[in-house]
Chains A and B, each alone.
Chain A
Amino acid sequence: MPPQPSSPSATDLFHGYRLQEHGAYDELFRAVGDPWPSSASLYEALRSLSTEDLDGRSVALARAFRDQGITFSLSGEERPFPLDLVPRMVDAQEWETIERGVSQRVRTLEAFLADIHGVGEVLNEGIVPRRVVMSSTAHSRAGHGVVPANGVRVHVSGVDLVRDEEGTFRVLEDNLRTPSGVSYVMENRRAMTRVFPELFATHRVRPVAHYPELLLAALRAAAPRDVDEPVVVVLTPGVYNSAYFEHSLLARMMGVELVEGRDLTVRDDVVWMRTTYGEQRVDVVYRRIDDDFLDPVHFRPDSLVGCPGLLNAARAGHVTIANAVGNGVADDKLLYTYVPELVRYYLGEEPILPNVDTYRCEDPEASAHVIANLDTLVLKPVDGSGGKGLVIGPQATDEELATLKKAVLADPRGWIAQRVVQISTSPTQVGNKLAPRHVDLRPFAVNDGEKVTVLPGGLTRVALPEGSLVVNSSQGGGSKDTWVLASAADTDTEGDDGRPPLLPPPATRQQPKDGPGVGDQQQQQQQQQGRSSC
């Protein structure tokens, strides 16, 4: 018989846990003390922990992260990446929806990018107004003339999802440029299996460690020339970049070189890297540098981290840049409002994951409504990423709202407004108790040209201040390990290539041989001693 729901006692980690008044969906509880069926065993495991237990584990975790260099810098100081010990669960059915929805979205945006870099049907037919594309700050001529070898521009994407009050997953934004965070997905999991091994015993969690293989396969598939082993490199701005840890981890786990701009040189539109054995030709550059800094010849001439001539090499078809240059036009927040239409237009399907209700401030009618209701809406600059410039109306001061109003009136194309979604909460360690904190989810998708694969899980980010709805790690957010549970019917285990084992099951082997120093001698010497002392 399942345990009866009971309200937590005073010594319990859940003591004082209250669901949010605004009706946010809670990832663990239907009502306090009454978990969702898929979370019941997690709840039981957590309840049996003491405060000291939790503290001890989080200290061990922080130390391990620091020693491994899994850190981010906050005002010049290296801090361990904050991982909350309570995992976030996604059951098999929910995941199936997310997986199909994310894949659908990526395929749509690929089609859109191909279209606008080509004939621009979608603009001619007026599905998306031409000015939306032309006025995007990310729109540049630079991306034109680059023909991707296998048709892929969005090799890696991260689609930010939130769960609304009803428990429905909605898309908050698309990230098609250089989405980061996947290293934390892998490292969080690795850490959790060490700190909380017993939790894994009672759950079948789908693994995430094969991500680098997926990525490498997709990058190789994108190589421009027909060679057996295309040379892939990861291009990083350098060791002081906040995501450097991730660049280094991916290069290491893919077994490819991690290069900086100064390691590369372009001659006759061919990219070379400088090695101890002379120069080696590069076929695919997985770049983690923004467009603006990528190539000083085409973009910012003051960029020291880029590689001069890289873009011309890509245009000549001698190298693949992943993700492609100019993707920003498709993850612009104004274009976001057109994505459901684009899904219908390109795929002839209904969107699986809905958007959050959004107003386009450039539309005069919507703009008037937005200006009148600034204090109840979320305002976002269309080209900001990472929560930059975002204003949450109900939490803003009068002064901030006045500044915002001016900004919106001055540049309506630069803003969108969204309903304030009370995004879902999940139990999170605060002091020595667990309390509800708002979370989002960024699943990562890899497109190898044949198939869009969504890594089961993704980065769950947590807004640590009470009541805060902003989950970005540059704004003091934490993270959680995200568990996608395998369904009972799911026998399709990742990483099993279906090959038979190399050896039959082992028969009993001989024990390892012993040398001197075991048993006898010591005994004899002691006896000897005993005798001589008589």
Chain B
Amino acid sequence: MLSRVAESLYWIGRYVERAEDISRLLDVHVHALIEDPWIDSVAAATDLMGVMGMTSEPNELDTGSLAHRLSFKRGDASSIAGAIIAARENARGVREALSSELWEALNATYHSLAAHENAAARQGPAPFFRYVKERAAVIGGLLDATMPRDDGWRFLVLGRSLERVDMTTRLLWSRAGQPGTSSGWAGLLQSCSAHEAYLRTYHAAIEPERVVEFLVLDRLFPRSVYAALVQAEACLNDLDPSSGRSGLVDASRRLLGRARTDLEFRTRQEMLDDLPEMLDMLQRSVGAAGDALSERYFHQGMALSWRAEADA
């Protein structure tokens, strides 16, 4: 597979997952604010921006403008619309590597953005968040049903998995940094579609340490950090089946494997005690793994420029 194509596929995976996760995050955040009359909405908005790695002027944003900023800002891949546009732009350049259905799903999603932005201005953003989640499900379903499990699929799923680790970490951060109400933690679970799964697993009320444990370490829930890391490792392993019998050659796999084992054998209490360090470690690992991946698979020769005459 062409390096350029592999890189685009990886980023399509990341952007689609990102659009979905921001929708999930905002959906819960916006509606929690509406339901809870005591929350300081400006502070909450500023916090959320911080978690997304963006700065805002103090008091600049309230819930409405935050939702709009994170939903519709074009030209910024940290917004939902921006991520969808970026995913589609990448897909346009590698159409021959995607199934037609998958391409069409991405393209149709892109084309309906404007209509949804108009509708959101009139009816509020909830239908838009729902729409994005549904489209992401369609895209995920087509990925599952129409793509052969070759390297193309692996790069797509790899991108999706790494983005999921990154975004779930951010979600945890957004919650853990705030005063603990159980409705807030329930909201966090909902934003990961994990509320019912949590209840069925623990048969118990919402407790912060269990929520963290579930979202980080649950072996069976597909949106947990652990599950995403395992999936990413599996993709990397399949991409390079020739790796030697002793010692790991692939840097990104080593980074992810190390992060996973670090999580895997922690107790619930240890996890909670070191929460900030652990989240930080996860984000750094994902970032470094992405760099290693790029170094190994996507690296292009230096762009050359040609001129008519050589300089004397």
Residue of A nearest to B299 (CB): A274
Of A87-95, A253-261, A425-433, A438-446, the one contacting chain B is A253-261
Whether A39 is near chain B, meaning CB under 8 Å from some CB there, is no
- Give B74-95 as 1s and 0s: 1 = Cβ < 8 Å from A's Cβ atoms: 0000000000000001001111
Which residues of chain A come closer than 8 Å to B308, judged between CB atoms?
301
Which residues of chain A come closer than 8 Å to B2, judged between CB atoms?
257, 259, 263, 273-276
Question: Whole-angstrom distance from the CB of B271 to the nearest CB of chain A?
Answer: 36
Q: Known: A260-B4, A275-B1. Contact between A301 and B93, CB under 8 A?
A: no
Whether B104 is near chain A, meaning CB under 8 Å from some CB there, is yes
Whether A66 is near chain B, meaning CB under 8 Å from some CB there, is yes
Which residues of chain B come closer than 8 Å to A297, judged between CB atoms?
306
Whether B103 is near chain A, meaning CB under 8 Å from some CB there, is yes
Which residues of chain A come closer than 8 Å to B3, judged between CB atoms?
263, 274-276
Query: With the chains together, A257 CA to B6 CA distance in Å?
Result: 12
Inter-subunit contact B297/A68 (CB<8 Å): no
Query: With the chains together, A277 CA to B2 CA distance in Å?
Result: 9
Partner of B301 from A67, A274, A304 at Cβ < 8 Å: A274
Inter-subunit contact A301/B306 (CB<8 Å): yes
Query: With the chains together, A222 CA to B305 CA distance in Å?
Result: 31
Inter-subunit contact B300/A67 (CB<8 Å): no
Whether A252 is near chain B, meaning CB under 8 Å from some CB there, is yes
Whether B307 is near chain A, meaning CB under 8 Å from some CB there, is yes
Inter-subunit contact B303/A258 (CB<8 Å): no
Partner of A262 from B1, B107, B108, B303 at Cβ < 8 Å: B303
Whether B111 is near chain A, meaning CB under 8 Å from some CB there, is yes
Whether B151 is near chain A, meaning CB under 8 Å from some CB there, is yes
Query: With the chains together, A442 CA to B303 CA distance in Å?
Result: 38
Which residues of chain A come closer than 8 Å to B274, judged between CB atoms?
none
Question: Whole-angstrom distance from the CB of B309 to the nearest CB of chain A?
Answer: 9
Inter-subunit contact B95/A252 (CB<8 Å): yes
Query: With the chains together, A201 CA to B96 CA distance in Å?
Result: 32
Inter-subunit contact A302/B4 (CB<8 Å): no
Which residues of chain B come closer than 8 Å to A244, judged between CB atoms?
92
Residue of B nearest to A258 (CB): B96
Question: Whole-angstrom distance from the CB of B155 to the nearest CB of chain A?
Answer: 8
Which residues of chain A come closer than 8 Å to B301, judged between CB atoms?
262, 265, 274
Query: With the chains together, A496 CA to B225 CA distance in Å?
Result: 53
Question: Whole-angstrom distance from the CB of A294 to the nearest CB of chain B?
Answer: 13
Which residues of chain A come closer than 8 Å to B108, judged between CB atoms?
67
Q: Known: A262-B4, A263-B3, A296-B306. Contact between A276 and B100, CB under 8 A?
A: no
Q: Known: A67-B104, A69-B107. Contact between A276 and B1, CB under 8 A?
A: yes
Question: Whole-angstrom distance from the CB of A369 to the nearest CB of chain B?
Answer: 43
Query: With the chains together, A436 CA to B221 CA distance in Å?
Result: 63
- Give A119-152 as 1s and 0s: 1 = Cβ < 8 Å from B's Cβ atoms: 0000000000000000000000000000000000
Partner of B92 from A239, A251, A302 at Cβ < 8 Å: A239
Query: With the chains together, A276 CA to B104 CA distance in Å?
Result: 26
Which residues of chain B come closer than 8 Å to A393, judged between CB atoms?
none
- Give B185-227 as 1s and 0s: 1 = Cβ < 8 Å from A's Cβ atoms: 0000000000000000000000000000000000000000000
Q: Known: A274-B3, A297-B306. Contact between A262 and B300, CB under 8 A?
A: yes
Chain A residues 287-316 with CB under 8 Å of chain B are 296-297, 301-304, 308
Question: Whole-angstrom distance from the CB of A255 to the nearest CB of chain B?
Answer: 9
Residue among A69, A263, A275, A303 having the largest count of chain B Cβ atoms under 10 Å: A69
- Give A208-244 as 1s and 0s: 1 = Cβ < 8 Å from B's Cβ atoms: 0000000000000000000000000000001100001
Whether A248 is near chain B, meaning CB under 8 Å from some CB there, is yes
Whether B115 is near chain A, meaning CB under 8 Å from some CB there, is no
Partner of B297 from A252, A276, A302, A308 at Cβ < 8 Å: A276
Question: Whole-angstrom distance from the CB of B159 to the nearest CB of chain A?
Answer: 14
Residue of A nearest to B105 (CB): A67
Whether B312 is near chain A, meaning CB under 8 Å from some CB there, is no
Question: Whole-angstrom distance from the CB of A254 to the nearest CB of chain B?
Answer: 9
Whether B292 is near chain A, meaning CB under 8 Å from some CB there, is no
Number of B interface residues in the complex (CB < 8 A): 29
Inter-subunit contact B111/A274 (CB<8 Å): no
Which residues of chain A come closer than 8 Å to B307, judged between CB atoms?
301
Query: With the chains together, A239 CA to B96 CA distance in Å?
Result: 12
Which residues of chain A come closer than 8 Å to B104, judged between CB atoms?
67-69
Question: Whole-angstrom distance from the CB of B22 to the nearest CB of chain A?
Answer: 24
Inter-subunit contact B107/A68 (CB<8 Å): yes
Inter-subunit contact A66/B297 (CB<8 Å): no
Chain B residues 252-284 with CB under 8 Å of chain A are none
Question: Whole-angstrom distance from the CB of A39 to the nearest CB of chain B?
Answer: 33
Q: Known: A260-B4, A265-B301. Contact between A69 and B95, CB under 8 A?
A: yes
Whether B42 is near chain A, meaning CB under 8 Å from some CB there, is no
Which residues of chain B come closer than 8 Å to A259, judged between CB atoms?
2
Inter-subunit contact B305/A68 (CB<8 Å): no
Question: Whole-angstrom distance from the CB of B274 to the nearest CB of chain A?
Answer: 37
Chain B residues 287-311 with CB under 8 Å of chain A are 297, 300-301, 303-308
Whether B239 is near chain A, meaning CB under 8 Å from some CB there, is yes
Which residues of chain A come closer than 8 Å to B300, judged between CB atoms?
262, 274
Inter-subunit contact B93/A239 (CB<8 Å): yes
Query: With the chains together, A21 CA to B84 CA distance in Å?
Result: 52
Question: Whole-angstrom distance from the CB of B26 to the nearest CB of chain A?
Answer: 26
- Give A177-189 as 1s and 0s: 1 = Cβ < 8 Å from B's Cβ atoms: 0000000000000
Query: With the chains together, A260 CA to B4 CA distance in Å?
Result: 9
Query: With the chains together, A301 CA to B309 CA distance in Å?
Result: 9
Query: With the chains together, A421 CA to B2 CA distance in Å?
Result: 49
Inter-subunit contact A276/B96 (CB<8 Å): no
Residue of A nearest to B108 (CB): A67
Q: Known: A262-B4, A301-B308, A308-B306. Contact between A276 and B95, CB under 8 A?
A: no
Which residues of chain B come closer than 8 Å to A239, judged between CB atoms?
89, 92-93
Question: Whole-angstrom distance from the CB of A130 to the nearest CB of chain B?
Answer: 29
Inter-subunit contact B100/A68 (CB<8 Å): yes
Question: Whole-angstrom distance from the CB of A274 to the nearest CB of chain B?
Answer: 5
Inter-subunit contact A276/B111 (CB<8 Å): no
Question: Whole-angstrom distance from the CB of B53 to the nearest CB of chain A?
Answer: 28
Question: Whole-angstrom distance from the CB of B112 to the nearest CB of chain A?
Answer: 9
Residue of B nearest to A277 (CB): B1
Query: With the chains together, A297 CA to B92 CA distance in Å?
Result: 29
Which residues of chain B come closer than 8 Å to A251, judged between CB atoms?
96
- Give B29-64 as 1s and 0s: 1 = Cβ < 8 Å from A's Cβ atoms: 000000000000000000000000000000000000
Question: Whole-angstrom distance from the CB of B79 to the nearest CB of chain A?
Answer: 21
Which residues of chain A come closer than 8 Å to B239, judged between CB atoms?
276
Inter-subunit contact A248/B306 (CB<8 Å): no
Which residues of chain A come closer than 8 Å to B107, judged between CB atoms?
66-69
Query: With the chains together, A248 CA to B8 CA distance in Å?
Result: 15
Query: With the chains together, A336 CA to B107 CA distance in Å?
Result: 42
Query: With the chains together, A297 CA to B310 CA distance in Å?
Result: 12
Which residues of chain A come closer than 8 Å to B1, judged between CB atoms?
275-277
Query: With the chains together, A69 CA to B103 CA distance in Å?
Result: 9
Query: With the chains together, A66 CA to B112 CA distance in Å?
Result: 11
Which residues of chain B come closer than 8 Å to A265, judged between CB atoms?
301
Q: Can you list 23 A-B contacts with CB-CB less than 8 angstroms, sorted by A residue number?
A: A67-B104, A67-B107, A67-B111, A68-B104, A69-B95, A239-B89, A239-B93, A244-B92, A248-B96, A249-B96, A252-B95, A257-B96, A258-B94, A258-B95, A258-B96, A263-B4, A274-B4, A274-B300, A274-B301, A276-B2, A276-B151, A301-B308, A304-B303
The 9 closest A-B pairs by CB, nearest first: A252-B96, A296-B306, A67-B108, A251-B96, A248-B95, A301-B306, A239-B93, A301-B308, A276-B297
* Residue ranges of B at the interface with A (Cβ–Cβ < 8 Å): 1-6, 89, 92-96, 100, 103-104, 107-108, 111, 151, 239, 297, 300-301, 303-308
